[in-house]
Structure 1
Amino acid sequence: MLARRHWFTLASAVISIVTIYLLYGWLKSQGELKLPSGKEAIAWMALGVVVYLCSFIVRGLRWKVLLNEVGVKPPLHETTGLLTVGYAANTLLPARAGDAVRVFLMAQRTEASASLMVSTLIAERLLDVVVLGGAFVITSLVFAGGLPQGNRAIIALVLLGVGAIGLAVVTWAIRSDRLPAGVRGILRDASLAVRQLRSSRHLAAVATLTLGAWFLEACVYLIASKAAGVELHLGSALYILSTAAMFTMIPSGPGFAGTMDGAIAFTLHVLDEPKRLVGTYIFTVRFIIFIPITVLGGLLLVLRYGGFAALKAARKAQSAENEEAEAAAKAHLPLEDLPTGEIAAVRADEVDTADAASR
């Protein structure tokens, strides 16, 4: 029988294949795909690449601040470099394996506990969810017709009620100590990340850096529209970005194949942009966001971080730790009874299920 992670990988692949097939059929019906051409379009794309790379410096600085909070003090070029390698791995590998790669390589270079660094990844996810979730709600209200009415309002209220009931049940289960020890460990670690942010001396700094990173990425989406001939402004570009971030929470293959593209097509339809330009815009965004960072991350991996042998070792370590942590969770072993590496694996499960941009 397939292990849970194998089912997750299989489901992700199926979702990507189905969405790509449906989207391809729709795009094909819109006529021939026109790629950006001409000096002006190429210049816009080059600018988009530069802005996107600048966002990695901001993200690297944020990770450095979070690592400093737990006593790990890598230089900025190290956090930025490993972020780049991790994003490149996410483009090529399923199940956000790039997160495990950067944790493994950072632990190797700093001789620090991987479990501490995984908590900083969870903190990153929480910050991203707050910023992108807020942006998604606000921009959806502005661009998608305001507050839901009629049947949509009823559905929204039902979902809100179900969410509130679910939250109440989970809270009761935690307080009454009715959850398995392995599950309690994962929840404790999530709360540790929250407490880490709340008690952080640099909360304002990491929040500002998070806003700055996503502002730069919204600018990338805006710049891509200039190259593709789509008429956007910063607000509508943020709407596309935040919606794409919500869609990429759905499990999918490497590079958010299918889900991200579907989100872009959906938002451009809401914005009444010409259908013939949807494929052009998707291509432009994907080129700017994925191609240069994958090439740069691959070069850094080969030239600085041990090459593909290190990548293979990280994947092997992640697989072994996930198996041990899964077995311990089934046996209801307390998280604190696990070795450090297995704690990191349990914590990595939560990171895998969170969703931003990251790319």
Structure 2
Amino acid sequence: MRESLDAFLSAVEVFGERIADVRLLPLLLGIALHLLNSALRTVAWRNIIAAAYPATRVRWRHVFGAYMAGTAANTIMPARAGDPLKLFLLHGRVAGSTYPTLAATLLVESIVDFLLASAMLLWAWQTGLLPLPDLPSLPTFEIGWIVGHPWVLGLVAAVAAAAILWSGTHIRNFWARVQLGFAILRQPWRYLWSVALVQVGSWIARVGGGWAFLEAFHVPGSLKVAILVQVVSSVATSLPATPGGVGPKQALLVIVLAGEAARSNLLAFSVGMDVAVIAVNLIVGGACLVLMRGSLRLRPGAGQRAADPEVPPTPG
């Protein structure tokens, strides 16, 4: 962690020295593609929610506002603390919705992300472009104490069984609501055209945005390098210690992209891209949060209003 912090501070210093050299047009293109990525992701999420609540009108602008507000929170708080904010804002906008169902739709929304990110990560490892970490030897789990005290297992099993029997109805209701969030997966063709293909489009915009940011900071862009940027971002954001993986991301980018450009350009890029994306997320997400929270205060019963007629989910 200390090495990551040092790398981040060094990158910030270099970025400050080279900010006047940033190419404006590629920077604006990168920002536009970042917003397009967010818009397409929310189209897909909106369609997942609409499938869970077919009798309710789910507006894309509400989903977009909740998503951007939560994304803004994620940029300043670690461990994806902004995701509950997304659910809270949507809960007040989707009539009859429940938190377990909305949370399940987020899981469905992450399927394509997981598959594509895993494929890119595997490609980077197989080609040697991403170095494998040196994992420390982990201690073996000791079960000798449990074997010597079998009554502990019996007690735990008895308590668990009693809890399940006592709360069986609540658990069944909870899982019924969770399963509702996976409704679109029971309609494969609808999932393919209204979710998966839209998310593939969002990833194309995401990779294209990374390419544009590379050019903005004088790092020669290519499909290979742009994909590597996404791989590093995925690895770094999986670490909950810092918001958006800031610190580890900068350190890893300089290592992985070594030889693609001068070290000073790589340092400036590693910070500059994050600064641009974070600024956009905070501005757009903050505006969405203010608008949605103000509207919720004016209409406190929004979550309990009668369901509107079903609206077929369309990517537009």
How far 1:19 sits from its partner (Å)? 4.9
C-alpha separation in 2, matches of 1:103 and 1:32: 36
How far 1:79 sits from its partner (Å)? 1.2
How far 1:91 sits from its partner (Å)? 1.1
Alpha-carbon contact 2:102-2:181 (below 8 Å) kept: no
Q: State the partner residue of 1:268.
A: 257
Alignment CA distance shift 1:273-1:189 (3 Å) = farther
Q: State the partner residue of 1:234.
A: 223
Q: Give 1:65's match in structure 2, choosing from 47, 70, 75.
A: 47
Alignment of 1:321-332 (within 5 A): none
Q: State the partner residue of 2:101.
A: 116
Q: State the partner residue of 1:37.
A: 20
* Higher-RCO chain (CA-CA 8 Å, sequence separation at least 6): 2
How far 1:24 sits from its partner (Å)? 3.9
Alpha-carbon contact 1:49-1:288 (below 8 Å) kept: yes
Q: State the partner residue of 2:283.
A: 295
C-alpha separation in 2, matches of 1:274 and 1:191: 51
C-alpha separation in 2, matches of 1:262 and 1:85: 28
Alpha-carbon contact 1:225-1:231 (below 8 Å) kept: yes
Q: Give 2:110's match in structure 1, choosing from 109, 120, 125.
A: 125
Equivalent pairs, count = 266
Q: Does 1:257 align with 2:246?
A: yes
Q: Does 1:51 align with 2:51?
A: no
How far 1:238 sits from its partner (Å)? 1.0
C-alpha separation in 2, matches of 1:191 and 1:68: 14
**Normalising to structure 1: TM-score of the pair?**
0.63
C-alpha separation in 2, matches of 1:19 and 1:83: 32
Once superposed, what is the RMSD of the aligned Cα atoms? 3.8
Q: Give 1:100's match in structure 2, choosing from 67, 73, 84.
A: 84
Structure 2: gaps (5+ residues): 139-156, 299-316
C-alpha separation in 1, matches of 2:43 and 2:36: 11
Alpha-carbon contact 1:67-1:73 (below 8 Å) kept: no
Could you tell me which amino acid in structure 2 is paired with residue 95 of structure 1? A
Structure 1: gaps (5+ residues): 1-14, 160-176, 311-359
C-alpha separation in 1, matches of 2:243 and 2:257: 23
Alignment CA distance shift 1:215-1:139 (3 Å) = farther
How far 1:272 sits from its partner (Å)? 4.1
Q: State the partner residue of 1:135.
A: 120
Alignment CA distance shift 1:110-1:25 (3 Å) = closer
Instruction: Show CA shifts across 1:28-85 (max 9, x none).
Output: 9x978543435x7122211211111111110111011110111154111111121111
Alignment CA distance shift 1:65-1:308 (3 Å) = closer
Alpha-carbon contact 2:8-2:247 (below 8 Å) kept: no
**Normalising to structure 2: TM-score of the pair?**
0.71
How far 1:216 sits from its partner (Å)? 0.7
Alignment CA distance shift 1:92-1:44 (3 Å) = same
Alignment CA distance shift 1:108-1:130 (3 Å) = same
How far 1:283 sits from its partner (Å)? 2.0
- The structure richer in helix per residue is 1
Could you tell me which amino acid in structure 2 is paired with residue 247 of structure 1? A
Alignment CA distance shift 1:20-1:42 (3 Å) = same
Q: Which moved more, 1:188-197 or 1:280-289?
A: 188-197
Structure ID, larger Rg: 2
Instruction: Show CA shifts across 1:245-295 (max 9, x none).
Output: 0232122222322233233223212x5432121221012211232111211
Instruction: Show CA shifts across 1:282-327 (max 9, x none).
Output: 12211232111211111121133339999xxxxxxxxxxxxxxxxx
C-alpha separation in 1, matches of 2:205 and 2:129: 23
Q: State the partner residue of 1:344.
A: none
Alpha-carbon contact 1:90-1:99 (below 8 Å) kept: yes
Instruction: Show CA shifts across 1:319-355 (max 9, x none).
Output: xxxxxxxxxxxxxxxxxxxxxxxxxxxxxxxxxxxxx
Q: State the partner residue of 1:355.
A: none
Name the % identity.
19
Q: Give 2:273's match in structure 1, choosing from 279, 285, 288.
A: 285
Q: State the partner residue of 1:215.
A: 204
How far 1:242 sits from its partner (Å)? 1.9
